[in-house]
Amino acid sequence: MSNQNGYAKDVFSTSLGELALHFLGHGSLRLTFGGKEIYADPFREAADYSALPKADLILVTHHHSDHFDPQAIAAIRTGKTQIVCTAICAENWPGGIVMCNDDLRTFEGISIEAVPAYNIAHKRPNGQPFHIPGEGNGYILAFGDRRVYLAGDTENIPEMKRLGKIDIAFLPVNLPYTMSVEMAAEAARMIRPRIFYPYHYGETDLSLLTALMKDEKEIEIRIRRMA
């Protein structure tokens, strides 16, 4: 299904009404629920934000420029928009609501949990991980009885085993910054979502991921345009 702006859209029922997921591209998503517009990691190369509805809530996973894009944020922000972000992002965006790993907040009845997102194996030439533990967040959002996991930029880290019930998971698959297809498949097996969307996947051959997941009959992998 596509919305009026041409972006793919999937709609799910929840105990509190419909949840619409709009696939903008890269790591950027728009979620519509209960009349509220929620954006994750708006990035101006992923979408024309000037043509999209204004945001009630913006979630920023970390400070890298393809996830924390002040120009994209400005295009959808109003005086009432709440911005949830990391401490590093807040240094450059006054007024942001800082969430650290394991923090929990509520927005208009929607539970928001910040969870770890980082690299273990993939590192820069100087030996520093591309994403350092404690600097970035993934987010788990509870829409009624549906829990949606936006992993941010991460590998298949041990903390994924403790996320609890996840209905819909967005997991990044782009080397060398996040996960290989093998890592993403292992992450999905740890989390066991009902639906698994690869995102932020660049030029990754997702047919390899699909092949790795073919025997996981309880996990539906859905491919949308999220390069």
pLDDT (tens digit per residue) in 178-199: 999 999 999 999 999 999 999 9
Query: What token pair was written down for 101?
Result: 């790993």
Domain boundaries, the chain: 8-221
Q: Where residue 5 falls among pLDDT bands split at 50, 70, 90? A: low
Pairwise CA distance, residues 180 & 186, whole Å: 10
Does position 201 have pLDDT exceeding 60, yes or no?
Answer: yes
Summarize pLDDT for 140-160 with one digit per residue, the tens.
Answer: 999 999 999 999 999 999 999
Summarize pLDDT for 126-139 with one digit per residue, the tens.
Answer: 999 999 999 999 99
Q: Are 212 and 181 in contact (CB under 8 A)?
A: yes
What is the average pLDDT across 35-47?
A: 97
- Peptide bond before 176: cis, by omega within 30 degrees of 0? yes
Q: Where residue 6 falls among pLDDT bands split at 50, 70, 90? A: confident
Does position 2 have pLDDT exceeding 90, yes or no?
Answer: no
Q: Amino acid identity of 15?
A: S
Summarize pLDDT for 66-93 with one digit per residue, the tens.
Answer: 999 999 999 999 999 999 999 999 998 8
Q: Name every residue whose Cβ is closer than 8 Å to that of residue 140 and which is 6 or more positions away in sequence.
A: 111, 112, 113, 115, 147, 148, 149, 150, 163, 166
Mean pLDDT score across all residues of the chain: 95
CA distances from 213 to 178, 181, 191, 203, 204 (A): 18, 10, 13, 19, 15
- pLDDT, residue 95, reads 83
pTM of the model: 0.96
Q: List, in sequence order, every residue forming a beta bridge with 196; answer none if it has no partner.
A: 169, 221
Q: How many residues does the chain have?
A: 227
- pLDDT, residue 92, reads 83
**What top-level class would CATH report for the domain 8-221?**
alpha beta
